[in-house]
Structure 1
């Protein structure tokens, strides 16, 4: 946004809570009008935006026909997401979208149009904008040190919502007038990982990939989405997932780092609390959640030709709360080495219910010594080669096999939730068999799978 005066933006006050900003969903920018009312709204918004542009930033020459169509498409997609996201009160109507050129290239909003509409609509009072808010990648809730970069939050103003209502379009009826063209979106994303100049963390950005291996991964995820599309889950939107690979810029990257399946449809079952996930139904029938016990620790052992003792609670340490032990393990795999301080999120989560600093209750060194004594395999962790990205990839491959086999061999769909899956209760047994066998096929030993 080099040519943009950020002083003109209606930046929100600092009073917005971090919880609301973190609850913001990402806008896909793929809405297109499907009714006369929607087309009329888009035409009106385009006209008043161009009028504003002519006043504040006159162009030397008129846009060519193709450029004008692209601009109108951007107006449509951006406005529809602004109106649509006003429904989500847990985020106070905000959504986020980064300026990543590669990612925006799959949408109807180019980087140039994004910058223009951000400036013009903020000046016109149609959109509210926050300051930059950094998003970081986490592994089991703990920071991996990988930043996804900074992203503003955006939301429709009352003026825009009132304008849309004049055309009979509200946040609740938006989908009656606009539809998503999700075919533009690739179901596979590859991100880079670059250390910052201070050596205190890394940043991440989308990378452009092509070639047989990339296309093979795209096809695998498309097959899973086709299965989910016929699965019958009673969600607000047909479930869709995408696969996120990490460290695409590493010399040894071969679609073998990261690779988790993330929900990219509106009703994000992965972010629901466990008790809410239990309420999901499939064609009106109840579902169950199958959870792989200590999946990441199981995989760490298996990668070194060892087998985790599933008869013993792997996170039990005398005198230490289980969630503390589990959180420290997750943080160690996220960092790829021994910790030097209690992780921030673990400390915050401990403070909330207890009112006490975790460092006043436990000595980090003593707890880590006990944890490593119980699981010496933790000494094998190594940042960049044997850490969260490797464990995540191995786990995701098991779930890819399970989901594909369930769909192709049994006509059954399941919703992935990282180290668990949700399936219709009537298909519990076949799903459990497929999941256990997927781990067994990959590692030569069988995990414990619990039914919730």
Structure 2
């Protein structure tokens, strides 16, 4: 899943707005992608998850049956815990000012720990309650004549002071979120990425060679133990290479830096 997504919700298809100011753009561009796989690992985390799920329940359709919400309460609580954990972890990062990148493509949630309906319920309830703020995304490849961009952006979310206050009330802060939630990180399926503008990575002999190089490097370091004097636990699953300024006839000579995963 990348920034370019063709399967956007109707309410995400907003008219193209003025370009985001440059001073805000960097933080938004550095937003990590939500994993939505974290689970409570302490009594405080369980209490926080339960508190949020009960105080801000999943919105119920007017014609829906009341028992339906109770049947899915566990799944909803799982989504609550995973989302608050990702939001707090994003605040702890010093590159995105707390912004978190989330997909609105239902297909990205198929077979995942958190399903789209549950995540959609959490984000809707929290937006209405003022627990999160968001920067709406927009689709790429807009219709001919539309002044909008050719590539899309995923929606960004950020915890408000109110949500941080609720979490702190349970003793959980961005600084200690990794002590209260167990995160499950996964390597991206694509080891070679294109950005500025983001484009699907082409399958060419040169790209296959680049993928093999990164895969061999990752395989070697997977057998090693990485340590740091100030960080006893280093979370490193592997690297990906990111190139930019892709155009026709690209020679894969712009960018190409290695980025450790997960990008915490």
Same fold (TM over 0.5): yes
User: Of 154, 157, 166, which aligns to 2:157?
Assistant: 154
CA distance in 1, matches of 2:126, 2:192: 30
- Residue 132 of structure 2 corresponds to residue 127 of structure 1: yes
CA distance in 2, matches of 1:81, 1:174: 9
- Residue 189 of structure 2 corresponds to residue 188 of structure 1: yes
- Residue 223 of structure 2 corresponds to residue 227 of structure 1: yes
CA distance in 1, matches of 2:198, 2:31: 23
- Contact persistence 1:125–1:159 (CA under 8 A): yes
Q: How does 1:207-246 map to 2 (within 5 A)?
A: 223-224=219-220, 226-227=222-223, 230-233=225-228, 237-241=234-238, 243=240
- Residue 94 of structure 2 corresponds to residue 94 of structure 1: no
CA distance in 2, matches of 1:58, 1:5: 24
* Deviation at residue 119 of structure 1 after TM alignment: 1.4
- The superposition leaves residues 177-196 of structure 1 with CA deviations (integer Å, 9 ceiling, x where unpaired) of 111123xx355238999xxx
- Contact persistence 1:188–1:242 (CA under 8 A): no
Flag the 1:68–1:203 CA change in 2: closer, same or farther, 3 A.
Answer: farther
Match of 1:418 in 2: 258
Q: Give the match's secondary structure for 2:172.
A: coil
Q: How does 1:13-28 map to 2 (within 5 A)?
A: 17-28=24-35
Q: Give the match's secondary structure for 1:128.
A: strand
- The superposition leaves residues 30-60 of structure 1 with CA deviations (integer Å, 9 ceiling, x where unpaired) of 211110010011011111222x624x75633
Q: Give the match's secondary structure for 2:113.
A: coil
Flag the 1:204–1:2 CA change in 2: closer, same or farther, 3 A.
Answer: same
- The superposition leaves residues 300-341 of structure 1 with CA deviations (integer Å, 9 ceiling, x where unpaired) of xxxxxxxxxxxxxxxxxxxxxxxxxxxxxx85xx313xxxxx
User: How many residues were matched structurally?
Assistant: 223
Match of 1:70 in 2: 75
Flag the 1:109–1:63 CA change in 2: closer, same or farther, 3 A.
Answer: same
User: Of 22, 28, 31, which aligns to 2:38?
Assistant: 31
- The superposition leaves residues 95-149 of structure 1 with CA deviations (integer Å, 9 ceiling, x where unpaired) of 11222445444653322223222211100111110122689xxxxxxxxx984x3
- Return the TM-score normalized by structure 2: 0.65
- Contact persistence 1:225–1:239 (CA under 8 A): no
CA distance in 2, matches of 1:59, 1:167: 33
Match of 1:441 in 2: none
Please give the root-mean-square deviation of Cα atoms over the aligned residues, in Å: 4.3
- Contact persistence 2:36–2:86 (CA under 8 A): yes
CA distance in 2, matches of 1:191, 1:220: 13
Q: Structure 1 unaligned runs (5+)?
A: 8-13, 136-144, 194-200, 206-215, 244-259, 263-295, 297-329, 337-381, 397-416, 420-452
Match of 1:48 in 2: 55
- Residue 175 of structure 2 corresponds to residue 335 of structure 1: no
Match of 2:172 in 1: 169
**Structure (1/2) with the larger helix percentage:** 1
Flag the 1:64–1:165 CA change in 2: closer, same or farther, 3 A.
Answer: closer
CA distance in 2, matches of 1:3, 1:98: 14
Q: Structure 2 unaligned runs (5+)?
A: 1-7, 15-19, 141-148, 202-211, 260-264
